[in-house]
Each structure stands twice: as structure tokens, then as C-alpha cells.
Amino acid sequence: MQNRKPYVRPIARTWYAENNFFSWYMVRELTIVPLIIFTLNLAAGLFALVSGPSAFNAWVAFSSHPLMLIINVLALVGALYHAKTFFSMMPKVMPIKVGDKKVSDGTVVAVQWLLVLVVSAVVLALV
């Protein structure tokens, strides 16, 4: 066994760029960045609303800045992409049974998107 000399290959810092699957995984993880900015801005908006009309108008002006609009669009796209990945893993992680039969993956995914549509419609009807 004196010739044993196991070679450990180094992992490049850019490992996620070498494989499409890993790149999309990183995109999924990165969707959190615009979402955090969106959430913080929304929270700031709530505080501004309580602080009075001038603060709120300033917040509205800040939020209509093109950069904020771009971040909002990114946050929406990111949230939808994240939802897509989350919804498709749902039936695998929490298999649902009705009686003795497993509900098909497609049905679980469809029901989740239907819920998104219903909740969005309710919210849109309220504003």
C-alpha cells in the first residue's frame, strides 16, 4: 500500500457556472436579493404611511424611481420562478394521499398555481 496517494481535486469558485443545472440553482437562490429589497421597501412604505402624507408622498416618489421599478419587476419574476421550483418539489416532499391513492404530482402543482391565481384575484379585487 506504499503507493497510495489519493488525489483530491480542488473545487473551483465558479463550480456553479460549469453546469446548467447548477446555474439555475444559483438563479433560484439569488431570487432572494430583489425580494429582500422589495420587502424592505414595502415595510418602509408602511412606516411612511403611518408617519403622515409628506413621508408617504416621498416614499411613493422613491418607489416610482426607474431603478425601484426594475427591482420590483425582478422581484416578481424571481418570486414566480421560485414558486415554480417550490411548487414542483411540493408533491415529492409531501406526498398527499386521498384514500389509498396518491394524488398525482401534476394535480398538486396545478392546485398550487390555482391557489396563487385565486389569492392574486382576491388581492386585486380589494385594491
Partner 1 sequence: MDKLQTVNVLRYDPAKDEEPYLETFKVPANDTTSVQDALAYIKDHLDKSLSYRWSCRMAICGSCGVMVNNVPKLACKTFLRDYPEGLTLEPLANFAIEKDLVVDKTPFLERLEAIKPYIIGNDRKPEEGPNLQTPAQMAKYKQFAGCINCGLCYAACPQFGLNPEFIGPAALTLARRYNLDSRDHGKAERMKLINGKDGAWGCTFVGYCSEVCPKHVDPAAAVNQSKVESSKDFLIAMLRPQEA
Shortest separation between residue 93's beta carbon and partner 1, angstroms = 4
Site for partner 1 in 98-127 (CB under 8 A): 100, 102
The grid coordinates listed for 9 are 481535486
Select the span of 5-13, 37-45, 63-71, 112-120 touching partner 1 (CB under 8 A): 5-13
Which residue shows C-alpha cell 419587476?
Answer: 73
Find all residues with CB under 8 Å of 79, minimum gap 6, and list them.
31, 35
Q: Contact at 8 Å (CB) between 8 and 19?
A: no
Find all residues with CB under 8 Å of 38, minimum gap 6, and list them.
71, 72, 75
Site for partner 1 in 35-94 (CB under 8 A): 89, 92-94
Which residue shows C-alpha cell 396518491?
Answer: 102
Choosing from 6, 52, 53, 66, the residue that interacts with partner 1 (CB under 8 A) is: 6
Q: 63 or 85: whose CB is closer to partner 1?
A: 85
Residues lying near partner 1 in the complex (CB under 8 A): 3-9, 11, 15-16, 18-19, 21-22, 25, 29, 89, 92-94, 100, 102
